[in-house]
Amino acid sequence: MTYLSPLGYLLGVEGVALLRGMREGTGDRTFVEARLAEIRELLADPTLRAAGGLDAVPGGIGTDQVYDEWAAHYDGPNSMIDLEQPLVREILAGLPVGTALDAACGTGRHAEYLAGLGHRVIGVDANPRMLAVAAAKLPELDLRRGMLDALPLGDDSVDLVVCGLALCHTPDLAPVFAEFARVLRPGGHLVVSDPHQVLSYLRPTLPRAPGPDGRRSILVEYHRPLSAYLTAALRYGFQLRHCAEPQAERPERPTVAPPMPTEVGWALLDQVPEAAAVALSVPSVVLLHLQSPG
């Protein structure tokens, strides 16, 4: 059981901002005193005191249920995709045209770009609602339902694999990279992106819809250090061609905070814009370009 406290989260953001300011030499006296004053205000805020918090069950909701609800809105604004997508496309644009697999293709955002480059594209995803959106957008696309650790493709069948922002849903990287190695032809390319582990510690843990027991839920995700991806890839002979850990620019926050939310969520950051700008200025995505042995 996890207790999600809006006050606890905001105090955590303030604490991270103070620690970063001291560690990096950017926290002068004015900054530190402002953080301490803001902490006192948060502790005295009657809305936060009244809100308390809520219990949530890790694993009480699954990836399928979350993406069922998200499918219709997945192509809307998303700051992580806005950061990741241009960097992935920059790599893809420099690779030879052939047969490409968009693994965990979702609504087909990478598949659409690959097709535009001239690739014969296969899209694989485990969620039928996400595949339905992809099929409506890209009726000519070869779409298949399947899991990352059991791809519905033959051995040595593709020249390129792209897997965008999906490995955080897999508990074990080894069987997934084994599948990437199996379906790639010798010398084939693998481009992988995933949410960054550092950001996962700082972003709000969102309470999800109640489960069968009526309690709120938390989607379990697997955020890993960069070494975990490299270890899994090297095990199957992949060679590293490029690695990046880009950081998103924090959006401007309102100078006058809106009414205090009563649940943990992104809107809470509007209450502490200066602390949030410092605390969350961290790598947001890990990006790897790998090549199978040729």
Tell me the C-alpha distance between 101 and 159, whole Å.
8
What pLDDT band is residue 72 in, cutting at 50, 70 and 90? confident
pTM of the model: 0.93
* Least confident segment among 89-98, 148-157, 271-280: 271-280
Residue 134 to residue 138: CA distance in whole angstroms: 6
Decide if pLDDT at 157 tops 80. yes
Whole-number pLDDT of residue 251: 56
Average pLDDT value for residue range 206-214: 79
- The domain over range 2-291 is classified in CATH as 3.40.50.150: yes
Does the pLDDT value for residue 61 go beyond 90?
Answer: no
252 — pLDDT class (breaks 50, 70, 90): low
Q: What is the pLDDT of residue 239?
A: 98
At 64, phi and psi to the nearest 5? Answer: -60, -45
Which residues are CB-contacts of 172 (< 8 A; sequence separation ≥ 6)? 149
| Choice between 32 and 78, residue whose per-residue pLDDT is larger | 32
Q: Quote the CA–CA distance of 41 and 225 in Å, as a whole number.
A: 35
* Cα–Cα distance for residue pair 253/120, rounded to 1 Å: 43
Higher pLDDT, 191 or 52: 191
> Mean pLDDT over residues 44-66, rounded?
89
pLDDT of residue 179 exceeding 90: yes
Q: Please compute the mean of the pLDDT values over residues 63-73 and round it to a whole number.
A: 88
- Closest among 247, 233, 243 to 198, alpha carbons compared: 247
User: Percent of the chain beyond pLDDT 70?
Assistant: 97
Largest CA distance in the chain: 64
What's the pLDDT score for residue 224? 97
The answer on pLDDT for 139 being more than 90 is yes
Mean pLDDT of 170-189: 98
- Helix (H), strand (E) at residue 125: strand 120-125
Q: Average of pLDDT values for 70-79?
A: 87
- Secondary structure, 3-state, 152-211: CCCCCCEEEEEEECCHHHCCCHHHHHHHHHHHEEEEEEEEEEEECHHHHHHCCCCCECCC
The residue-averaged pLDDT of 137-160 equals: 97
